[in-house]
Amino acid sequence: MFRKIGVFLLGIVGIASIALKIYLIKTRPTSLPTNNIILQQFNVASVIDGDTFKISDGRRVRLMGIDTPELRRCLADEAKEKLTTLILGKNVILKDQFSDPYGRIMANVFVGDDYINKEMICSGLARMDYYENPHRGELKIAYAQARENKLGIFSGICTSLNPPVSCTIKVRVHGL
């Protein structure tokens, strides 16, 4: 009998713990308040790849919460072109910043009201990564939509047996 009561109480504690975690996740702010602080803007001097760029003072910035194809991989050039179109020569606002192990600034990047990290995922040229991000829910929705619509990296273009001429991945297919 005591064993049944113990299991019952353990179940109640577990359910309460899960409910509290869900409540805390849902009630946390999705963006940090600015408290009427004027956000600093930085001019984008160059784009390195689909998720990294340099601002005019020479510092490197990486888009937080996303990962694009590495250089010389399928759709890497398209990802870099997309990011270039979105930010090169423009003033960006960097939110939720921190430094990664490589010394880059990790940030949610905005041009006006346009959330650049999300735009890269919406185009199908990025996937989500595992960094904690206040905008994670927004990115998850964009990721699901790009995947459902089979855009970019979700299109199968990079796994096709007849990839486009611009794709430089070489694979040996056995049995064909």
DSSP string, 116-137: HHHHHHHTTS-EE-SS--TTHH
In tens digits, the chain (176 residues) has pLDDT values of 767 776 666 667 667 667 655 655 554 444 444 445 567 899 999 999 999 999 999 999 999 999 999 999 999 999 999 999 999 999 999 999 999 999 999 999 999 999 999 999 999 999 999 778 999 999 999 999 999 999 999 998 887 666 556 555 554 445 54
Q: Which CATH architecture fits 41-154?
A: Beta Barrel (2.40)
Q: Is 99 helix (H, G, I), strand (E, B) or coil?
A: strand
In 3D, which of 108, 66, 65, 104 has the Cα closest to residue 87? 108
